[in-house]
Chains A and B, each alone.
Chain A
């Protein structure tokens, strides 16, 4: 059985600096494994350990995703090997383009029985790639996955739904987005980290993949922030509670809040 975990190597926006003019300085942000990807790897690792499956990590992106530290960081978390597409053109690629590249890598690996992803990425948090990827593969997509068991062709998936848990039986390959608390990622031990350097890393050139022709191109042409309303700071004397309440209601009505 083959399990793929699609992970992202990205910077945490918490470490970026936002200037007064709205521009973002990423220079002090250190890239790392996207926050929820270790959860996905742990969920998949537990399933792989129970079934004897091979666990393969896949990532695509701009400069940096194929560095040794990026690969070792992912491998150290429990992946058996990784397959990476690094291309500068992917640095700012949209969700559909990234999903298309991921789909081609999954076809390249071949005989993949399930793809697991994190809940969302630390930098964009669009929660779109798992669904778009499933569409590109023509596979079902399941989000908020909390448990995975069964075997190839007969997966048993539990997912969180409002008010409870839904249990699904999936008869074929699927893309599963692990919920943020699906598993507690194990901290890699010292031996795991040293072993990471000895695990296989396969690099694929973007040009070697047969990608669908992209349709419309989206470009961000502007952004603005909502106007800041100056605070009015109206003080209400509360020595007479009834009078104060009436004044407050009047003030809120005048402000359009009531």
Chain B
């Protein structure tokens, strides 16, 4: 078993890190402070071929392996967790369902622009009364002569309103519950589609997450993704992969917090010596480094399952559960090591702490991951 990265994976890690240092780090604090979507980064991410890494070149992607993709999400998130989720949600949640379930026409129509980064995507599943219980969604899609009419609302939609392509889940047969849910590709300029005001969040403040509304929103028949009634399955399979992206985001946040804690511990002098010489600090850092490395192994293992065509639902859940809880824990300890300085905005570690929490919540809460894992373990 070889735990080393391949040459390409190392090169990709180094290049994305260099890009992140040059383009993302300089604006990370500002977009967090101002709750600003970093729109100017999108063409730069596209130029680096980061917006559709695992997709074939003929469809606009970079044809990298999945491990390389999660490494890229990790490195971007290490610089800025908001930019990390913009990238991950677009690639894993919006582009993937079209790649996996789309007709040839849909793939040709959307993937070249999405995988190359020319058009941004979003995933609209969550509703005000349907989060973890996604099957309880009440948005409907009614078939008419000229297409479908969508009605309802979705909330916390990452990348709205900047996204041009939305994967929307709505009930074509409300009586059948989850089995009555269908998936649709909705373009931003569809009549009846609108976007609400972005939420002000605890963390990932540069990621835009407003509600979206469908008021007799008219879309063509060809907008149906997969078959009617397949929507819930499409959503769950998409989230299986999406949570690997979120686990990579959490890993990046944890690594950033650990790096900051180590740097601070070496510089901060108390009682005549750096606090890094104190056993209390050394043991905290030892635990943090071990937890981050364990998270990394789980994240890369889940990505490796995707590359090798093996099932990854349980592995992805384990990676997301562990990496997200590690990010929160490590970021908290990083603040502890910083002492009072960890509590002020001029030290990035407070942003790591605020950004970390969402990774335990979205794309399936930690409780959902535990459900997935226990179901597999108890089979």
Contacts and interface: CB of A to CB of B under 8 A. Distances in A.
Interface residues of B, number: 20
A258 interface: no
A80 B297 CA distance: 35
Interface string B161-173: 0000000000000
B7 A189 contact: no
Category for how many chain A residues contact B: 10 to 19
Interface stretch (B62-70, B196-204, B321-329): B62-70
A188 B11 CA distance: 9
Contacts of A69: 7, 10-11
A194 interface: yes
Interface string B54-77: 000100001110001000100000
Given A194-B62, A194-B64, A187 B48 contact: yes
Contacts of B19: 187
Nearest to A67: B7
A236 to B, nearest CB: 26
A191 B55 CA distance: 12
Interface in A154-190: 187-190
B22 A187 contact: yes
Contacts of B267: none
A69 B10 CA distance: 9
B26 to A, nearest CB: 14
B18 interface: yes
Contacts of A189: 15, 47-50, 62
Interface in A180-222: 187-191, 193-194, 196-197
Interface string B72-86: 100000000000000
A40 to B, nearest CB: 17
Interface in B301-321: none
Contacts of A191: 49, 57, 62-63
A73 interface: yes
A188 B50 CA distance: 11
A193 B12 contact: yes
Query: Of residues A188, A190, A191, A193, which shows the largest number of chain B Cβ atoms within 10 Å of its Cβ?
Result: A190
A73 B7 CA distance: 9
A73 B11 contact: yes
Contacts of B22: 187
A194 B57 CA distance: 11
Contacts of A193: 8, 11-12, 15
A194 B49 CA distance: 11
Nearest to B62: A190
B266 to A, nearest CB: 14
A-B pairs with lowest CB-CB distance, top 4 = A190-B62, A190-B49, A189-B49, A69-B7
Given A189-B48, A190-B15, A190-B64, 13 more contacts: A69-B7, A69-B11, A73-B11, A76-B15, A188-B11, A188-B15, A190-B48, A190-B72, A191-B57, A193-B8, A193-B15, A194-B62, A197-B7
Interface of B: 7-8, 10-12, 15, 18-19, 22, 47-50, 53, 57, 62-64, 68, 72
